[in-house]
Each structure stands twice: as C-alpha cells, then as structure tokens.
Amino acid sequence: MWETENVEARLLATLLIDAKLFSKNEMDKMVKSVTFVQVADWLNAYVVKIFPNKEYLRIEWLKSNNSMAARAGRNLTAQRVVKNPEGLDLQLLLDRIKSEMGNTHPLIQWTMNFVLAEIGIHNPNLRERANSIGDNLGIYKDYPVSKGCTSPFAPIWIEAMVSRRK
C-alpha cells in the first residue's frame, strides 16, 4: 500500500504497519517519502512514535533538510519533553527554537511550536522563557481558533494547559 504513493492507501498503511519490522534506513526512507501533511502526521502518530530506534532517528532528523524528516524529529522531541525529558538539554532546545523557528519552513515551524509549548507546559522553571520566545516570535498569534479550542500561539496554549492541570 505504501509503495502506491496514494494518500488514502498510505493513511491506511499507517494503521497496519508494524514499526518493529523496519530498519532505521527503511523508516528514514519512509518518512522522507511523504508528500502530504496528514500522512506525515499519521505516520508519526501511529508508526514512528513506537519505532524501536526512534531516538537515533530523532537526533538525525533534527539535523535534516528534509521537511518531513525535520517535522518527525520535532514531533519525537515534543514527545520526549513530555514523557522522558531526561538527557534533553531544554535550554539548548529553546535556544534553537528562538534562533531557527522564525526562518524555517511552516511545516517545521508547526512542530517546533509543539516543542516550545510542551517545554513551557511541563517545566515551570522554563515557562517564562518559553512564553517570551513564543511572544517575541509571534508565530500563530493571529491564527483563527474555533470556540472551545486552544490557540496554537504558544503563550496562550501554555497558559491554557497549565490552568487545566491545576
């Protein structure tokens, strides 16, 4: 199904793929072959996040010029911030977001924004800095939001999620 390059077939494939059967090279090739954002998001959510060698690929993808690989690397980083932040240099991540996010491809900006928000939500000692970076970048500040949804503008998102946790 994946080889067809058909969007619907690839979406279905993400629900059926056993991530444990792939090598690092095969997973890398699969991620980099994606051309449709919804397929990338499903692949990341259902396959990449359970891939046994995801940490190795996360580090490689953070350096990638391929927008879908870079997006996958940031998705995995956001997950690590929440679930397993040990060993992550969160200050360095904030530095990178501050210096890179404003000039990067919108597909990558979106997932960098997730990392920024997750750092602010889950790390009270870094919340003010994450909010400041988000505010200074202003990305998604005027993004339309449906009633009842949380804004993707990091300072509003962080505040909303922290208040829900109290």
93-140 pLDDT, tens per residue?
Answer: 999 999 999 999 999 999 999 999 999 999 999 999 999 999 999 889
**Shared-domain flag, residues 66 and 93:** no
**Shared-domain flag, residues 59 and 101:** no
**Shared-domain flag, residues 72 and 116:** no
Q: What pLDDT, on a 0 to 100 scale, did the predictor assign at position 146?
A: 86
Number of folded domains in the chain?
A: 2
C-alpha span between 119 and 117 (Å, rounded): 5
- Rg, Å, the chain Cα set: 16
**Shared-domain flag, residues 76 and 95:** no
Amino acid (one-letter) located at 35: T
**Shared-domain flag, residues 31 and 109:** no
Q: What pLDDT, on a 0 to 100 scale, did the predictor assign at position 111?
A: 94
Q: Which of 63, 88, 113 is the last residue of a domain?
A: 88
Please name the residue that has the structure tokens 């095969």. Answer: 26
pLDDT exceeding 90 applies to what percent of the chain? 86
**Shared-domain flag, residues 22 and 68:** yes
Q: What pLDDT, on a 0 to 100 scale, did the predictor assign at position 147?
A: 84
**Shared-domain flag, residues 57 and 110:** no
Q: Which of 64, 88, 112 is the last residue of a domain?
A: 88
Cβ atoms of 115 and 77 closer than 8 Å: yes
**Shared-domain flag, residues 106 and 34:** no
* Region 59-76 average pLDDT: 96
Residue 148 is part of which domain span?
89-166
Please name the residue that has the structure tokens 């997730």. Answer: 114
16's CB contacts (< 8 A; 6+ apart) are: 1
Query: Confidence class of residue 56 from pLDDT cuts 50, 70 and 90?
Result: very high
**Shared-domain flag, residues 99 and 61:** no
